[in-house]
Homo-oligomer: A and B are copies of this chain.
Amino acid sequence: MTTLFTQSTEPCPMVDFVNLVSGKWAIPILYRLIVVDDAIRFGALQRAVAPITQKELTKQLRAFESIGLVTRAMYPEMPPRVEYQVTELGKTLKPTLDSLAQWMREHREELSAPL
């Protein structure tokens, strides 16, 4: 009976997801970090996810950091160096995002056609 009750009131996973990772650049940034699968500097990431602005990239990275999907390492050098990397938790999204990217590649033409 506990199970039944819990299931019926389970919050929609999709609503939770879009509340967690939202914004135009969120998925592209996260996917790039997952594909790279190594530490990457802020500037390099910005070039990879062009044409995102500095402000938006910073904001998204902080959001990912706060929920534990990304780590941030700051080196007090001059000029400054900051490196970002997906966490193990973040990497668990790889199969899902691979699937999404593959779907998009397969259906690009079908989808852009209608207008």
Contacts and interface: CB of A to CB of B under 8 A. Distances in A.
A96 B103 contact: yes
A67 interface: yes
Interface stretch (A39-47, A75-83, A106-114): A106-114
Task: Output the residue of A14, A93, A96 with the most chain B CB within 10 A.
Answer: A14
Given A28-B12, A28-B15, A114-B66, A107 B89 contact: yes
A14 to B, nearest CB: 4
A46 to B, nearest CB: 14
A111 B99 CA distance: 22
A99 B95 contact: yes
A18 B24 contact: yes
Interface of A: 12-18, 20, 22, 24-28, 31, 49, 66-69, 89, 92-93, 95-97, 99-108, 110-111, 113-115
28 contacts: A12-B49, A13-B102, A13-B108, A14-B27, A14-B28, A14-B97, A14-B101, A16-B104, A16-B108, A17-B27, A18-B24, A18-B28, A20-B104, A22-B24, A66-B114, A67-B111, A68-B111, A68-B113, A68-B114, A69-B111, A89-B110, A92-B103, A92-B106, A95-B99, A96-B96, A96-B100, A99-B99, A100-B100
